[in-house]
Amino acid sequence: MRPAALALTVVMATAAAAPLTAQHQPPPDTTIRGLPTNEEGQPPHLPPLPAGLTLDAIRAGDSLFHGKGNCFACHGADATGLPDAGSALTMGLNFVPTEWGPIDSLIRVGVPEAVARSAIGMPPRGGKSNLTADETREIAAYVWAISQARGEPWPGGHATHVASAPPGSTAGTAAPPRPRPAEHE
């Protein structure tokens, strides 16, 4: 048997012999509503900010995302996405380049329902289509930041936004939280 084939056989046999309880489980701090978020793959720090993007813009975008922009209603208070509503934004962006300008453009024009990756489209210029150009740019700064790093690792960042979402604000857009299965010893 060739060395590469032998090594592959050993790896496969070892993996098959591992008990099910030893398989990888996401750490507790990487779940939202009991569902894994895959955020552990994100770096713990922001990369260098693009030209023109400031921490003040990121913080202003955070406020708009969770307020006037109504972004949280579909993307979730922690931007981890909601079933049949909005995509997760904290695990990187798969549908737009992870650059500040294209994110801003997407927020300005929205995503028509026919091409959305959910049951509803994304309205242009926020949930009520009433954001100014400066406000969409600030939300784009925040979305860029949360798509680049785990959590909000900047001065003024939040550990979670779940408590800031108004009660009932996501009613009809998300399935109720699923209970976590009991851990077996």
Which position has the token pair 């701090």? 29
Q: State the pLDDT confidence band at 125, using cuts at 50, 70 and 90.
A: very high
pLDDT tens readout for residues 58-80: 999 999 999 999 999 888 888 88
What pLDDT, on the 0 to 100 scale, is given for residue 28?
40
Q: Is residue 128 part of a domain?
A: yes
More reliable by pLDDT, 27 or 72:
72
- For the residues 130-141, what does the mean pLDDT come to? 96
From residue 115, alpha-carbon distances to 74, 122, 123 in Å are: 16, 10, 12
Q: Is residue 16 part of a domain?
A: no
What burial class does residue 163 get, using C-beta atoms within 10 Å of its C-beta: 0-12 exposed, 13-18 middle, 19+ buried?
Answer: exposed
Q: State the pLDDT confidence band at 128, using cuts at 50, 70 and 90.
A: very high
Using alpha carbons, select from 68, 52, 80 the residue that is nearest to residue 143.
80
pLDDT tens readout for residues 156-166: 887 777 777 66
Structural domain range at position 85: 52-161
Question: How many domains in the chain?
Answer: 1
